[in-house]
Structures are given as structure tokens and as C-alpha cells.
Amino acid sequence: MAMDSTCLQCGKPFDASVVANRFAGVCPSCLAKFAADDSGDVQPSPGAADPTIKPPLKLGGTFHGLEVVELLGAGGMGVVYKARQPGLDRFVALKILSPRLSGDPEFVARFNREAKAMAALSHPGIVHIFDFGKEADLCFLVMEYVDGLSLRHLMKDRLLAPEQALKVVPMICEALDFAHSKGVIHRDIKPENILLDKEGRVRIADFGLARMVSGPPGAPTATLSQVVMGTPGYMAPEQYQGMNVDHRADIYSLGAVFYEMLTGQVPIGRFDLPSSRVQIDVRLDEIVLKALATEPARRYQRASEVKTALETVALAPRPLPVPPVAAAAPPVRVRQRRPWLIFFFVGLMVYYLLRRMNPNSFGSLGFMEFAILFGLFTMALAFTWRVMNRSPRDSATPPSEFTGELSGGPRTSRLAVSAFVWTIVGTALIAASLVVPAFMRARG
């Protein structure tokens, strides 16, 4: 098997053809370890020293006029200490780079160039570089000490709420946009390098892998062999493929960090939309996907654009789902009193009592005939009463058909006339039933 590539993670040679193009530059062994790591850690976090690395300094000793107080962490690039600067009576972070790297003249030249670029980055969101140099064959950086936690430690304890992510990511965008405007890219944006102080303010640390990109095209640049220029899972495709990168590689890494903040997972290979894993605003899906676009031209072109998009989501109210149109509910009929029923039954009782007292009171009009005729008369009165008092509020008829007045329209007038006619007809029938029998008896 031909060993034709060097792993960007462990530095060992391997056959690049056995790894999918999504992870070109990382050997199968490192890829397997990364996939099996449930915690999501791809690099040792600050504050957790790597036991395989021997610390070059002793606690309690001095280095470059600084008192070494505490070991903060160790990784592939070197060891970080908490130190005290007696002259200014302040704590600083002292980073001692690996002796293997410090012995490489090419690395030292690159280190001096990049350290100057880092020291020029004066921004509240970037860890300040106070001093740098080489002493006792060790390259070192004296940096601002941030009393707080890394984003990695914060996410280990609990999954961040979307509201918290929407506060943290814009601050990262501000710091990155400033660094990019100075021609500096980070190349290794990941939760371990994002620090939050006790006030909740963001500091981006470890610009040690940054590269000056403001030089003229074609200018010679030193290369650093066998050094991981990024972290798998957070590196942009063009970065792990060994292509030339620009500030948009940091935007890709920022998208990966944002995805992990929302879901607790690193976006590896084919990944689900954030909204399918957690309950968040679906508009964040578009922002994450655009930041994680494979082609740099399809991503956000500046970190400030990511910030603007997030602020738009944070300020604009979340669109509410449109409820399905339900079928119109049938009109509620308010049960009304029916005085005409009482009137009808009272009339029947009067008829019965009068016939008992005088059988000839109603002539030959029998009880059933009287009930029918009197019922028609009662219905005509009830219908007339209802039409005269009808309004759109207590009717299922559209308001255009009724105005609440008798003269409200043609339909109202027709109903009133019909009721009046029924009343006249009912009255005439009752009168005929009383008069005709009496007339017939008089003639007989």
C-alpha cells in the first residue's frame, strides 16, 4: 500500500485513497477516534492538561520575569500556564510552544511574523498579546488571562439555549470581522478557542495558527509541515483539502460551532437541520446552512453578514404557523320565550270553559275546528311579531338582508306583508266560523 499523504491530525503517513473526500487529510485512525468520541471533543480543552506532554516549566518557578502559578492546559501546539507579572501585579496566560516546533527555523520565522500580527489585533473580543519571543530555546506568548470558561466546558455541562447562542455568536462575528479586516484569519475556530469571562463577554483565543493574507498575490509564504492547521469537524472543505484559504474558512468554522451550540453535535458528513433536532426558529436553519456551504462563494462573505442575519432573527418576531381554516360553525340559536304558545293554550282553555258554561257559545264550531283556526291565528301573530323584532344580531341571515328595521330592505318588506296577510286570513276564518253558524241558525 502506497503511503502518499500525511495526516493533518497525528502527522503519520497514510494512504489518502482510503478516506472519503469529506475527510481528505485525516487518517482513518484519527477519523475513527473522532467519530467514536461522544463528548464531541476533538482537541484537549484548556484547563485539562494532556498527560502525555511533559510540562517544560515548573510551578512556582520563573520564566521571562513571570511567576509560573498554575498549569491551565496542554495540547499539540504547547502548554499554557497561568502566570503572574510582578511589575504590573496582574495575571497573564503564558503559552510555551512545543520544543519540537521551537527547534524548526522555518517555524520560528513564521512564529515571529504571526505573533506580530496577533499583537496588532486590539479588540475587546480577541485575547490580547502582551509579549512574545524565544527564551531558553522555547518560543512563548504572553497573553491576556481570561477568568472564565471555554465554550467547550460550557457546552459539556448543558446544552445552550437558542437565546444564549444568539447572544454569543454575534460577539464572535464582531471579533472575526475585525481580525479579517486586518488581514488575519484564525484557521482553528472551535469551542476550545472561544472563551467567555464572568461577565458573559466573548474572547477568541489562540490565533497562533493565523496567517497574514494581506500580502500581494504570489508573495512567498513559509509553510509549516506536520502541524494541524485546524480541527476535523470544524475545518472548511478547502482547508482540509490543502487548498488556499481565506477568511471564509473561519465563517465555515463559525457555522460548525453555531450548529454544535444549537444541537450538541458537530455537523459531520450529511447532517440534519438544527430545527429537526431541537425546537428552534426555522429561520436559523438557513443561516447555518449558508455558513456551512461547501463552496466559499456560497457562504456569507463577511462575518458581519452572519451577525446581521442573526440579529434579524432575534429582533423580528417568530412567524406563527397559520391555523387551518375550519368550517364555519353553525349559528347558535338563542332559545327565546314563545308567548304565543301560552296565548294558544289559554285560548283553548277559554273555549273549553265557555262551552262548558254555554254549549251554544260558539255555535256548531267543534273543539278541533276551533283549535285549528285559533292555531293559525296564533301562528300569524307570532310570525308578525318575529318579523317586526328581527335584527342581524339574532339571526343566521346575513346582515345585508336585515337592517333591524321594518324598512330595512325588500326582503323585510315581503316578510312583513306576508305576516300581515296571514293575520287577516286567520282572523277572517275565525270570524266566519262564528258568524256563519249563527246566520244559518237565524234563517232556520
Q: What angle do CA 367, 421, 438 make, to 5 degrees?
A: 40
Concatenated DSSP letters of 63-114: ETTEEEEEEEEE-SSEEEEEEEETTTTEEEEEEEEPHHHHT-HHHHHHHHHH
Q: Is 405 exposed, middle or buried (0-12, 13-18, 19+ CB in 10 A)?
A: exposed
- Does the annotation mark 37 as catalytic? no
Determine the Cα–Cα distance for residues 289 and 276; give it in Å rounded to an integer.
Answer: 13
Which residue, chain included where needed, has cell 446552512? 289
Distance CA 372, CA 367 (A): 9
Q: How many whole angstroms separate alpha carbon 316 and alpha carbon 265?
A: 27
Whether 396 and 362 have beta carbons less than 8 Å apart is answered as: no
Of all residues in the chain, what percent are helix, strand and coil, respectively (each to 5)?
Answer: 45, 15, 45
Identify the CA nearest to 257 among candidates 193, 307, 210, 199: 193
Whether 434 contacts 370, CB under 8 Å: no
Taking the CB of residue 73, how many other CB atoms lie within 10 A of it?
A: 20
Burial classification of residue 276, based on how many CB atoms lie within 10 Å of its CB (0-12 exposed, 13-18 middle, 19 or more buried) = exposed
Q: How many C-beta neighbours within 10 Å does residue 285 have?
A: 17
Nearest to 430 by CA among 382, 378, 387: 378
291 exposure class (CB count in 10 Å sphere: 0-12, 13-18, 19+): buried
DSSP H helical ranges for 264-293: 274-277, 283-291
- Give the DSSP per-residue string, 347-402: HHHHHHHHHHH-TTTTTT--HHHHHHHHHHHHHHHHHHHHHHT--GGG-SS-TTT-
Greatest C-alpha distance within the chain: 150
* Active-site residue, selected from the candidate residues 50, 137, 188, 394: 188
Alpha-carbon torsion angle 7, 115, 142, 92, nearest 10: -90
Amino acid at 165: A
The residues annotated as belonging to the active site are 188
